[in-house]
Amino acid sequence: MTSTSTNIDTVLNTFEERWSPRILTRVNDYDVRLAKVEGRYVWHSHPDTDELFVVLEGSLDIHLRESGAETTVHLERHDVFVVPRGVEHCPQSTGGASIMMLEPAGTLSTGDYAGAIPDHITSTTGIEA
């Protein structure tokens, strides 16, 4: 058993890269990841898992595509949203945001996206904080 804590702000202050999630901690078989985001991500889905988003600072739009329809969920500081498994989504932040995500350890951040990864995005299963 560990007797140390981890501070969210301390971890966020260790990096500047956008769309490059850091693993804050693990809960059972899940990663709690932190990321700084700005601009548009890629359309992707996670066929085997839901994905939890929590906005810590700033705002985030999550564009969703399902059954041919596109909708957008707008999140502000401390808002929470779960993208259901298999739903295609594309996060975007115009002014920048810090977010926390919860997903099974080993989940690729770009999910099932098969195209070329843009330079501003790190496709990863999480970087140790």
- Residue span of the structural domain in which 59 resides: 8-107
Hey, what are 83's tokens? 């993208």
Closest by CA position to 108, among listed 36, 55, 33: 33
Question: Total structural domains in the chain?
Answer: 1
User: Is 28 a residue whose pLDDT tops 70?
Assistant: yes
Domain assignment present for residue 13? The answer is: yes
For the chain, the average pLDDT equals 96
User: Is 5 a residue whose pLDDT tops 70?
Assistant: yes
Domain assignment present for residue 64? The answer is: yes
Cα–Cα distances in Å, from 54 out to 69, 118, 119?
A: 24, 24, 24
Domain assignment present for residue 123? The answer is: no
Confidence band (pLDDT; 50, 70, 90) for 4? Answer: confident
Domain assignment present for residue 117? The answer is: no
Domain assignment present for residue 121? The answer is: no
Domain assignment present for residue 85? The answer is: yes
Instruction: Provide the CATH number for the domain around residue 61.
Output: 2.60.120.10
User: Is 1 a residue whose pLDDT tops 70?
Assistant: no
In this prediction, residues 94-122 reach a mean pLDDT of: 96
Domain assignment present for residue 3? The answer is: no
Return the SS3 of 73: strand
Helices (H), the chain: 8-12
